[in-house]
Structure 1
Amino acid sequence: MTDNAIPPARLLPWASPEGKPCYLLTDGSGRLSRAADAVESVQLGMADDLLDHAADMLADEQVTTGQLRFLLARMSEALTDVRRIAESRGARLLAYANGGR
């Protein structure tokens, strides 16, 4: 890639209201890039918290089916977020390794 080439689009850590992926063309230094970085950080932190909560609930023999279903729903949401973050970061690493920004 040359210095004048357009960098690859960044997959953002949120979806459109229709559930479609959102992308950003950026050099990685703008306000929206920083907002996306902050959202990713929050999403990863929430996933960590859910893993800790899951460990506690699985150790509790009094946990109800409803509680486990609720936890599983939140974990599914978190896994979707984490997968999107991994896809976005992987694409940016690949672009960087191939001479991109």
Structure 2
Amino acid sequence: MTDETPAPTSTSTPTPRLLPWTSPDEKPCLPLGDGEGFISRLANDIEAEQLCYTTELRKEARRMLDGRSWTIGELQLLAVELTEALDAVQRIAESRGAR
């Protein structure tokens, strides 16, 4: 017999993850999990796509503004798209910061 006591097992409490989408009533989606499941992988894929889209949108905005030949409608659309992209990037940053 030995006098060793078994090491305590750590039970980690799953933490909620802010997903890159909201519920139909615009509430945040915060599932619990270990970060390895289908929803986490889907969220990772969507975040990656959102970041790629934001990069391309930023390049397009730079080209458009450098050209100095835009219409009011084009500027309004650009403002809407950039705002949506900023919302997505902020959500991703919040989600990753919490993890």
TM-score range, shorter chain: 0.7 to 0.9
Match of 1:55 in 2: 62
Task: For CA contacts below 8 A with separation 6 or more, give which structure has more relative contact order.
Answer: 1
| Overall identity of the aligned pairs, in % | 47
Measure how far apart 1:26 and its partner are.
1.1
Q: How far apart in 1 are the matches of 2:67 and 2:87?
A: 26
Which is higher, the Rg of structure 1 or of structure 2? 2
Q: Does 1:17 align with 2:24?
A: yes
Q: Does 1:31 align with 2:31?
A: no
Q: How far apart in 2 are the matches of 1:3 and 1:36?
A: 27
Q: How far apart in 2 are the matches of 1:49 and 1:43?
A: 10
Q: How far apart in 2 are the matches of 1:3 and 1:41?
A: 32
TM-score, normalised on structure 1? 0.85
How many residues end up aligned between the 2 structures?
91
Root-mean-square deviation (CA, aligned residues, Å) is 1.1
Match of 2:14 in 1: 7
Which one of the candidate residues 77, 86, 97 is aligned to 2:84?
77
Measure how far apart 1:7 and its partner are.
2.0
- 1:26-58 CA-partner distances (Å, limit 9, x unpaired): 111111110000000000011101100110110
Structure 1: which 5+ residue stretches go unaligned? 93-101
More strand by share: 1
Q: How far apart in 1 are the matches of 2:44 and 2:68?
A: 38
For 1:47, the aligned partner's letter is T
Structure 2: which 5+ residue stretches go unaligned? 1-8
